[in-house]
């Protein structure tokens, strides 16, 4: 079993839809959680990071962590075609800060005009 | 500063050859990381430097792989006697202290 699991998709939605992207993780020691966006043939770009459980909002993006169920979510409001990319979730055990991230496989999102 | 720079962007090499990749981190970042990403997978941690010290290495980093960061600035990743299984995107990232990573665009290695 992988430490971080993601549905690879693709997830196809029309422009303007609310998108929900999810991950589960198995390592109870994870304290920090991140969402990265990766366009084709580019490096991952940090979107959001959260510490422990709770919600964090940044513009159209909301990250949610539920440590009791080991569930991580990213919500995208008013999705745009430019949001079409692969979204990677990642966790870190906090004992090492950001030294080592464990990534999921990524979910490919397609937003159609 | 334009972010994390990696060179080359794409490398095609014959099996058995040695290859070296370079990473220039964001100048004020003291931490540097190497990851490997294969098609359809997330990045996998390879190694981590704080300044010039290599502090952690994954078991994925076999003895054919070596990484250096002389003087705590740029870093190189060398793969000796390349194998077809080494074909992947090699990503470099940097951070300042415990802040989030900034990744480069990666070096795509194709071993033929």
Asked if the Cβ–Cβ distance from A46 to B102 is below 8 Å, we say: yes
Asked if the Cβ–Cβ distance from A43 to B98 is below 8 Å, we say: no
Of the partner residues A46, A96, A106, the one whose CB lies closest to the CB of residue B101: A46
pLDDT digits (tens, 9 = 90+) for A10-52: 999 999 999 999 999 999 989 889 999 999 989 999 999 888 8
DSSP β-bridge partners for residue B4: none
Sign of the CA dihedral with A43 first, then A22, B96, and B72 last? negative
pLDDT digits (tens, 9 = 90+) for A71-82: 999 999 999 999
d(CA A45, CA A65): 19
- A→B interface, C-beta within 8 Å: 4, 6, 8, 34, 36, 41-46, 49, 88, 90, 96-106
Residue B99: predicted pLDDT: 64
> Would the pLDDT of B1 be above 60?
no
Residue B98: predicted pLDDT: 64
Q: Using DSSP, state whether B71 is helix, strand or coil.
A: helix
| Close Cβ partners of B33 (under 8 Å, ≥ 6 residues apart) | A99, A100, B45, B46, B47, B48, B49, B92, B93, B94, B95, B101
Asked if the Cβ–Cβ distance from B106 to A90 is below 8 Å, we say: no
Q: What are the DSSP calls for A31-50, one per residue?
A: -EEEEEEE-TTS--EEEEEE
CB pairs under 8 A between A and B: 60
Beta pairing class for B88-95 and B31-37: antiparallel
Q: Does B106 touch chain A (CB under 8 A)?
A: yes
Q: How confident is the model at residue B21 (pLDDT cuts 50, 70, 90)?
A: very high
Structural Rg of chain A based on CA atoms: 13
Residue B11: predicted pLDDT: 98
């Amino acid at each position: 079993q992988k430490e971080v699991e993601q549905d690879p998709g693709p997830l196809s939605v029309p422009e303007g839809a609310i998108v929900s992207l999810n991950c589960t993780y198995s390592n109870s020691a994870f304290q920090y959680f991140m969402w990265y966006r990766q366009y084709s043939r580019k490096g991952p770009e940090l979107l959001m990071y959260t510490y422990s459980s709770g919600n964090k909002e940044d513009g159209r993006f909301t990250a949610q962590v539920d440590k009791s169920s080991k569930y991580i979510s990213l919500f995208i409001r008013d999705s745009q075609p430019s949001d079409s990319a692969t979204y990677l979730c990642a966790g870190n055990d906090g004992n090492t800060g950001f030294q080592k991230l464990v990534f999921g496989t990524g979910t490919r999102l397609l937003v159609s005009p | 500063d334009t972010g994390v720079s990696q060179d080359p962007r794409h490398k095609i090499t014959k099996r058995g050859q040695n290859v070296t990749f370079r990473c220039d981190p964001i100048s004020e970042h003291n931490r540097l990381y190497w990851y490997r990403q294969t098609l359809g997978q997330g990045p996998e941690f390879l190694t981590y430097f704080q300044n010039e010290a290599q502090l952690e290495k994954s078991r994925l980093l076999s003895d054919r792989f070596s990484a250096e960061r002389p003087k705590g600035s740029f870093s190189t990743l060398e793969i000796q006697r390349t194998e077809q299984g080494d074909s992947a995107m090699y990503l470099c990232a940097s951070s300042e202290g415990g802040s989030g990573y900034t990744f480069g665009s990666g070096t795509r290695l194709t071993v033929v």
